[in-house]
Amino acid sequence: MKKNFILLIGLLVLALIADLALGSVIFSLSELWEAIKGNPEAYIQRDILLNHRLPKALTAILTGSGLAVAGVLMQTLFSNPLAGPDVLGVTSGASLGVALLTLSGLSLPVLNYLSGWSQVIAAILGASVILLLVILIAMRVRQIVSLLIVGLMIGYFTGAIVSILQSISNPDTLKLFVTWTFGSLSAVGWDQIKVLFLFVSIGIIGSLLLQKPLNALLLGQNYAQGLGFSIKKLRILVLILTALLAGTTTAFTGPIAFIGITTPHIARGLFKTSNHRIVLTGSICCGAIIMLICDLISQLPGLQGTLPINAVTALFGAPIIISLLLKK
């Protein structure tokens, strides 16, 4: 198990170095090191590194780890291996919150795609409303497929509202919002990273503190209650943490799919356990690595511009979800 963690840390470091070095301008390892040291002769590389690639890489790490933890929480709470922020409509709820704020003219025009606290709060509230609705439905619908269909319908419903808002919004705001929906890591600056780091850290730390009740919940609600854990309180805490993680990441990077649902399965398969102490930590590492790799692919040298991050994550995540469905 320690070897697997060492492997993940090594892969994380390699993915980070590759993400910083490769792009439209390729840095050698020596150029990258000189830029990090602040060598005056490497001022161009240092400017690219500090103002573009490093913020994007840190955003990838925070987004990947946050969505992965949100996926673990949802899969445990719903006892559903195919649960995730995007599958059950939580990401759509966050997008709806942002759309209501930006497209309806309730806020000032958004600079640099999305910035400030208002978008974060709107995304968290939107995610919370949808997640609460899904929890209430899940208490009556027990079948996995039925719950997934409900999540799909919620996604269609929120998408319809967003489409209506798009049709009545002004062209400049609409263009900005549509670009945001493609998913992007490059629009997050240092000021936004501070906010993203704060909320994702709170969500991850809170999730790690719930290891014991989450492990008990794996054996059933009656077993967890028998150990003295309050299922109602646990649901509320998971709702808050999931909305915090999914809402914040969506507000800054757009609705990114497949990371939340696929990463927990990779962590469980790698460590051969469902213990949340291991799965949560492993998912944090795997999510960060996957997002760094997706970001690297989206900006490969020779590409005309940058690919939408959602397109890359879909190429990665869709085959995994199909394989899970076939196994079930």
328 residues of the chain, pLDDT tens digit each: 788 889 999 999 999 999 999 887 888 888 888 888 877 777 888 888 888 999 999 999 999 999 999 999 999 988 888 888 887 788 888 889 888 888 876 544 444 444 457 778 888 888 888 888 888 887 777 676 777 788 888 888 998 998 898 888 888 888 888 888 888 888 888 888 998 999 999 999 999 999 999 999 998 888 888 888 988 889 889 988 998 999 899 988 988 989 999 999 999 989 999 999 999 999 999 999 999 999 999 887 666 677 888 889 988 888 887 887 777 5
Q: What is the pTM of this model?
A: 0.89
R_g (Cα) of the chain, nearest Å = 20
How is the chain split into domains, by residue range?
Answer: 55-288
Q: In what helix (H) or strand (E) does residue 83 lie, and over which residues does it extend?
A: none
Determine the pLDDT at residue 81: 84
The alpha helices in 109-217, defined as continuous H runs, are: 117-138, 144-168, 171-181, 190-208, 211-217
Q: Give the residue among 285, 197, 262 at the shortest CA–CA distance from 14.
A: 285
CB count within 10 Å of CB 96 equals 27
What b/e readout covers 165-182, taking b as 16+ CB neighbours within 10 angstroms?
Answer: beeebeeebbebbeebbe
pLDDT at residue 72, as a whole number: 96
The CATH number of 55-288 is 1.10.3470.10
Residue 228 DSSP class: T
Query: What is the dihedral sign for C-alpha 49, 51, 56, 62?
Result: positive
- Distance from the Cα of residue 104 to its chain's centroid: 25
